[in-house]
Every structure is written in C-alpha cells, then in structure tokens.
C-alpha cells in the first residue's frame, strides 16, 4: 500500500477524503491524459498527406472550379479574321480558343500593344492605327467569328457572368500609352473600345512617362511622369481604367501610386529581389502597391523569373543572326513591334524549327520552371499578403517557362500551388479574385468621381 501513496492507501482503508483523492489522481495522470487527447485531436484534424496522384487530381478539380484569368496575352490581328487558320483553330500560338479550352483558361486580357517610336505627329498616328487594329481584332473575334465561344467583358461583373455561362472571357489592356498621342480625349475613346487597363510606357520613354529601360543609360525624359501623364492618371481614374505599372520606371510607378485615387496593378511583372532586371518590381514598389490596394500579376516570363547565365559566344552569335533574319531586333521575340505576335503560322513554325535546331547545336542555359515561378508568388505573399498576388504569362510576346509554356499547361501552376499548401480559396484569389476585386474598386472610384463631377464637387 505504501507504494501507492498515502491517499490511495487511506482510501482503500476507508479513511481518505474523496476530494483530496481526486485532486491527487488528477495531478498524477493529467499530463499523460492531456498528451493522449492532443494526439487524438491532431490525428483527427490533420489528414494524411495526399499521394501524388491524388494531389494532382485535387488540383485539377480546383482549377476547373475557380475562374482562371491571365492578364497579359499578345495577339496578331491577322489571326483574328474569318479566314482559317484563325484563333478558333489550334494554332502554334501559345494561346488560342482550343488551347484555352484544353488548359481550363477562362479569361485573358488581350494586349493592345504598340512599340515605342518617335514622339511626333506621324509616330503618334502610326501607333494609334496599330492600337485600333488590335481593338478591332478582339471585337471581330468575339462579335463575328466566335460569339458562341467568347465574349468581351467590360466590368468585373461581366467576367463572372460570362464565365458562368460557359464562354471564354476577352478583356483588353493597353500596353504603352504611346498610341494616345497628346490628346487626352483619346483615353475615353480607348475606354469605350474596351480598354480596362493602361500602361503609360513600354520599352522606351513615351510622351506620358519614363520607361524602366532608362536604367540602361541613366537618361530620363521626365524623371517619372510627364505633365500629360499626370492628366492621364486622373482621366483613367475618372473613366474606370486600371493603371498598369509593369513597364514604366520606378519613379513613374511611385508617382502613379501616389496620385491615383484607385488601386493600381502590375499586369505582368516579377520580383526584383529574386530576378534583378529593371522590368521587375523592387520591394518598395510592391509595398506601395499593397498600400494602394492593388495587385501584382506575376509573370511566367523566363528572363523575369530567373536571370540566366550569359550565352556562350557561339550561341550568342547564332541567336543574333536568327533574330536579325526574323526581324526581332535587339529586343528578342517580344521586343519592338512584337515580331513574334506578327508572325504568320508558317513563319512561326519555321522560326520554332530553327530555334530547336539551334538549341541542339548550342544548348541554352536551363529555363525557369513552374517551381521557380511559384517562388515569386511565395515571396510576394510573404511580403505583402495573399490579397495582392495574381498570375500572368506574357504568352505570344516572349513569355513561357518549362511547365507553363502555353495555355494548355495552366493547370501545372495550380498543381504547384496545391503542392505548397495553398487552399482553394487562396488559389481562387490568385487566379482571378484579387484582380476582379481591384476592377470593382476602380469601377467604384470612377462612379464616385463622375457623380462628383456631375454635382460640381470635384
């Protein structure tokens, strides 16, 4: 009896108070009971890890349920005609309607892109004509060629409505305000044609803003925004156009975010702390974007995801000759004039065949892959939060990485997000929810500014 302790011995002999006994029992056994309960609770709440097959199946199901939206895809208007081959065919392009169907890609912002040229009346007129040609091409696809398969969205509500109806969603974003010229009224014209985001510059300073490319030589035209650029920011706010900070200079981007009354976006950018190129955003810009309530659409562009080592001299020489032959110039496939986007299907096939042969003869450095891309997502989530992250590709304008090289491979991004522990709710935010929230906020600001203007209360 002594080994059981005095209280237990007294109980067996009928002499110990029961309350004191229970306190002793609790003190003796509580730690073990607590550990057992905790273990049982953990077992009940933490499911066993999914097998690779189950994880992929779960991710593909999520991919089908959420609205997937890519905020930057370049186009060739020659493929937006009634004659085949056109965008309704499974072309060699990275994006077209069959490939969107195959990859479960629901919505895209088609880029109304023009390269930067001379800031002259003639230059502005040429740029405007190219912009209008691309606006017309998107309208032709959605209204004449395939109205049963794709529809233009002019608002966030349109996106959800069209996707729910089972059709693809077409949106338009202006990449480079060069085509606006010096006419502020052109902003409204572009809005009425469907523009729902606007970048004030591309590669090269514009009449509205400095470009990130000023870092090459340290020469700046405006030290940020021009006086007209500041007016365009206000007009975009009034009309409900999202301002896009992917290509302008850091100074311009910070000024835009300070001036704008509505959240801004970066339609196709990466993290400069990971890939140190001028097109990517530094932490200071990302934090300012968070403060504005905006979203950065991280881009699956090889050179913006991972900075590759220099090409060998032999490979560099062969690439330069091939680029010159196909009219790419110094900027590559997505460079001045969008040479890749302008190719015919036959030219694109010829170029791709030549590139494959060149790569066999002079192997390139390893490309960025989906894991590298999602590293950018993880970084931004940790820095500024899940509500400020989105996804883009820059397909048909130079974009593409191993595992996400065209629209058919979009599920691979979702699979990697699931693998890293992101929930369906978080994935829905990244694929479209955050961008649509910004669109709604921009629409609300525009409505309020227009009411103020109508009442004479600016």
pLDDT value at residue 23: 42
What is the Cα 65 distance to its own chain's centre? 19
Task: Identify the helix (H) or strand (E) that includes residue 232.
Answer: helix 227-239
Q: Is the CB of residue 247 less than 8 Å from the CB of residue 204?
A: no
Q: Is the CB of residue 70 less than 8 Å from the CB of residue 395?
A: yes
Q: How far apart are CA 318 and CA 449, in angstroms?
A: 54
pLDDT value at residue 338: 58
pLDDT value at residue 280: 98
pLDDT tens, per residue, the chain with 458 residues? 333 343 333 333 344 443 443 344 444 444 444 444 444 444 445 567 889 999 999 999 999 999 999 999 999 999 999 999 999 999 999 999 999 999 999 999 999 999 999 999 999 999 999 999 999 999 999 999 999 999 999 999 999 999 999 999 999 999 999 999 999 999 999 999 999 999 999 999 999 999 999 999 999 999 999 999 999 999 999 999 999 999 999 999 999 999 999 999 999 999 999 999 999 999 999 999 999 999 999 999 999 999 988 889 999 999 999 988 888 754 444 443 456 667 787 888 899 899 999 999 999 889 999 999 999 999 999 999 999 999 999 999 999 999 999 999 999 999 999 999 999 999 999 999 999 999 999 999 999 999 999 998 87
Structure tokens at 32: 């073990």
* Closest listed residue to residue 103, CA positions, set 138, 60, 149: 60
Q: How far apart are CA 319 and CA 267, in angstroms?
A: 28
The dihedral sign for the CA sequence 369, 370, 372, 376? positive
Q: Is the CB of residue 175 less than 8 Å from the CB of residue 131?
A: no
pTM: 0.84
- Quickly list H helices, 293-423: 302-305, 313-326, 339-342, 345-361, 370-384, 410-419
pLDDT value at residue 3: 39
Q: What is the pLDDT of residues 282-313, one digit of tens each?
A: 999 999 999 999 999 999 999 999 998 888 99
Structure tokens at 430: 């990244």
Topology, domain 67-308+366-454: TIM Barrel (3.20.20)
Q: How far apart are CA 404 and CA 302, in angstroms?
A: 10
User: Half-sphere exposure of 217 toward its Cβ, with a 13 Å CA cutoff?
Assistant: 7
pLDDT value at residue 214: 98
Q: What is the pLDDT of residues 210-244, one digit of tens each?
A: 999 999 999 999 999 999 999 999 999 999 999 99
Q: How many CB atoms lie within 10 A of CB 68?
A: 27
Name the residue with tokens 């894991």: 371
* Closest listed residue to residue 73, CA positions, set 55, 99, 47: 99
What mean pLDDT value characterizes the chain?
90
């Amino acid at each position: 009896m002594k080994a059981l302790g005095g209280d237990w011995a007294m109980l067996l002999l009928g002499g110990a108070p029961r309350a004191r006994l229970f306190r002793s029992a609790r003190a003796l056994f509580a730690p073990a009971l607590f550990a057992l309960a905790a273990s049982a609770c953990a077992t009940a709440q933490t499911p066993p890890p999914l097998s690779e097959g189950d994880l992929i199946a779960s991710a593909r199901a999520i991919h089908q349920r959420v609205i997937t939206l890519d905020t930057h895809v370049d186009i060739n208007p020659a493929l937006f005609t009634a004659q085949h081959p056109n965008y309704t065919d499974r072309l060699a392009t990275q994006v077209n309607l069959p490939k969107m169907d195959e990859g479960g890609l629901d919505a895209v912002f088609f880029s109304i892109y023009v390269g930067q040229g001379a800031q002259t009346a003639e230059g502005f007129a040429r740029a405007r004509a190219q912009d209008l040609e691309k606006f017309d091409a998107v309208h032709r696809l959605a209204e004449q060629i395939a109205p049963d398969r794709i529809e233009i969205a002019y608002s966030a509500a349109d996106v959800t409505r069209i996707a729910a109806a089972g059709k693809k969603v077409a949106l338009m974003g202006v990449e480079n305000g060069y085509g606006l010229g010096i006419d502020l009224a052109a902003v409204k014209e572009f809005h009425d044609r469907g523009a729902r985001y606007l970048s004030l510059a591309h590669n090269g300073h514009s009449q509205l803003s400095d470009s990130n490319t000023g870092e090459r030589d340290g020469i700046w035209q405006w030290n940020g925004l021009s006086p007209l650029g500041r007016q365009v920011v206000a007009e975009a706010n009034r009309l409900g156009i999202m301002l896009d900070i992917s290509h302008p200079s850091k100074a311009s981007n910070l000024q835009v975010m300070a001036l704008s009354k509505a959240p801004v976006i970066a339609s196709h950018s990466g993290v400069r702390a990971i890939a140190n190129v001028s097109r990517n955003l530094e932490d200071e810009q990302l934090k300012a974007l968070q403060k504005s309530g905006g979203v950065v659409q991280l881009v699956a562009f090889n050179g913006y995801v991972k900075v590759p080592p220099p090409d060998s001299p032999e490979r560099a020489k062969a690439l330069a000759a091939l680029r010159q032959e196909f009219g790419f110039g110094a900027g590559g496939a997505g460079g001045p004039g969008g040479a890749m986007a302008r190719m015919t299907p036959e030219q694109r096939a010829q170029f791709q065949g030549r590139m494959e042969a060149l790569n066999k003869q002079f192997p390139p450095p390893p490309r960025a892959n989906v894991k590298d891309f999602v590293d950018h997502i993880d970084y931004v989530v940790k820095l500024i939060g899940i509500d400020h992250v989105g996804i883009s590709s820059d397909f048909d304008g130079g974009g593409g990485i191993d595992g996400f090289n065209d629209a058919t491979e979009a599920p691979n991004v979702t699979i990697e997000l699931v693998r890293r522990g992101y929930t369906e709710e978080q994935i829905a935010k990244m694929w479209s929810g955050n961008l649509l929230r910004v669109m709604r906020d921009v629409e609300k600001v525009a409505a309020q500014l227009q009411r103020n203007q109508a009442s004479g209360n600016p």
